[in-house]
Structure 1
Amino acid sequence: MKRPVTDAPIRIVRRGRPPAAPPTLFPDDLAPEPASLLPGPGSVKGRGTAWRIAGRYERQARNAVDDGWGSLDQRAEDDRTRVTRTEVIDEPCRSVLRANDSPDVPFDLSINPYRGCEHGCIYCYARPTHSYADLSPGLDFETRILAKTNAADRLREELRRPRYTPRPLNLGSATDAYQPVERNLKLTRQIIEVLHEAQHPFSVVTKSGGIVRDLDLLADMAQRQQVLVFISLTTLDNGLARILEPRASAPARRLAAIRALSDAGVWVGVNVAPVIPFINEPEIEQIIEAAAGAGAKSLHWTVVRLPWEVNPLFQHWLEEHFPDRAHRVMERIRDLRGGRDYDADFSTRMKGDGLWADLIRQRMLGAAHRHGLVREVPALDFSQFKPPRAPVQSRRPNQGELF
């Protein structure tokens, strides 16, 4: 099947037919990007990790795309625009709905159209899941994206099952459903079309301004109290966003998305997530003020989580970009985790524990009160659910039509 030309080099491969092995990499290949790739007129975003565990990557020119980072020239062959290539791997799924039994998240089911995420956020807790596919949680997670190309069809089938009962459902709980490859693949759009047809309520979490593309569907469902949107806003500093979340939308673009969604009647909450001590933590009050001014109605937050391979990746990132405070940041993270780099206990993994967790909570709630943001979100209406139409089947010719 032919796919449209994307704004960035993307190679589609079939699962089970891996590309040729990349060349062996040596220590010199791990050198950080030059300063010219930091924010500035005409610059093009790159990848987040300066270090990768499995080390599979190659260099390829990328065309410029305006995702809120200001004016961009189209000198794709310029050395400053040479970044890592994205490869999309078709991964048809047997089932798209995943049950959740974690007591600290407010939904029962989740849908993730993609495995891996081009946004390249260094702190992403989903990075270790790429190991399940024998891929690296480092650069592979950002550059080798597994796309569930039949997700909408599988969802339609599952919602039509006689015993199916609608339950709280979240879209994009692990990796962002609106990451850059979605511009052309439109898997998230197809899923929302099925949910819209079935009048099945859902929530969606994203840090992409691209969600406004689907405003027609979201606004209609909002009128029936069937959708909640949460925009993750980690910083207002373009320079920090560029190295922390290198291919996510710029902070101003996310604020614009909050405004557009709010003006269309969609309930929008702001996620100040994750809070990283001495990195984006000083901005807590400013982030909340900006989000409230853009129309956000509720506030949510988490503190940084460093499970498994995320820990060494994050610590290397700290040493690369903040050598003056790397030790201090990690000590404060350990204060939030009972002296450990990470504690997976359900009661504390999202907010942390101890004095510093209490101080963050007080600052969050104080700023939310000053700017009129609430903690609770409205209940969604499940009473209007109806099974979607059966998928269109191609008609098989009878024997006589073969001659």
Structure 2
Amino acid sequence: MKKLFYLICARIYGPELTARIVYFLELKKQISAVVPNVLVHSRSIFSKDILRMKDSERIRYLILSNSLLSIIQSVWLPRYAREQSFYYDRLKPESRAWKMCEAFAGTLLSLLKKNSEFIGVLSANFDYWQDAAFRASCSKDNLAFMVLRRENEATEKARAVSMRRYADVRIGTIDLVMVFSESSKKLLESIKSENIVFKDIVVTGPPRLDRPSMIPDTILQDEKDSIVIFSYINGNYCDDPRNFWEVVKHLYRFSEERGLSFIIKCKSEGDKQALKNAFSEHDLNPERVDWRVAETPIDVVNKAIVAISFNSTVLYQLLSLNVPLIIPFVYASEQEKDDAILHNSKGMDEAGIFRVDTMQELDVELNRIIANRQKFDFTHQFRLSLRENYLSWDPANPSARRVEETILLLNNRRSKNR
């Protein structure tokens, strides 16, 4: 109903009045009169980072749904212009459609600036079409446009895809980009284009990993009754979709034979629906699966005997939970294996991580893990190696705090220059 309401508002009242309605209904009640405020465009996965940041006592994060921004701006922008990265190539910036979007964004930001100590906007990436008008308005109103980048290119394949994507796009200037790893920072620094300018790039790590990473000791190993696979069907994770589907089919049958719950943790509602629709093609019953979307990894695996995933950032968090982890390299080429997250060719070997190349090996490891019901405590040295190779992650210095300090430092610098 809310989306329909705002769709009607945008069509009937236009950008300025719609912005005022959004301000009074969505944002005014969130504003702090004590600490600086930042408008956050929330979206899938990024919301997990926001969840760890929102308890800050030094910044108030004002949450505005990206889906709501999509609905409103789609009234003025034609469909062909609503594409990540390449929207400027589809519609000229001076067109009436973009002017309508800028009027909406400008009015909303002006209200926030007028009625609070307001720093600017925080997004999950720098190339979303929903943010384009907000970036332009931030620049005009001397506000900061900041990014806590949810993408973390941990493999050569992922880095190559991003480099191709950003080679020719016209994004403009971004005041601050916070990233999860040194490799992501180096990638952005290597982009040499006058069409994308990053004033500052800072490694903060992902706030979503800040939660105390312990499965309650009250849950005994013998009480654990589930197998969990974290979705990785998307081509950015594995080259051959058989990797995912053959593993899913094996886990489906294995869990049924053993009387275990089979959980599939999806990345989004869209991911969940696509997988459920594809189940019939593989002669599987989606009703026998426990589908999860919104829960955090710790909530999903707290009664899991073993977790399975491939080339996904979730691997980092699973390692912090001391759960046995299977990484399937089924149907993976040697090049893909060498490039993969946590492949032992990188010296990332550790008890509790089981790499399998065939379905037979998968079956052997599943039976062994379930028979032993062993809890693995990953070593400090391994955690250090993980951080150096893939991800800036330090429980002693939470990422949410680093994000907070980076934003406040930027705000102090900008205040001195005004």
TM over 0.5: no
Relative to the length of structure 1, the TM-score reads 0.36
When Rg is computed on C-alpha atoms for both structures, the one with the higher figure is 2
- TM-score normalised per structure 2: 0.35
Higher helix share: 2
Greater relative contact order (CA < 8 Å, ≥ 6 in sequence): 1
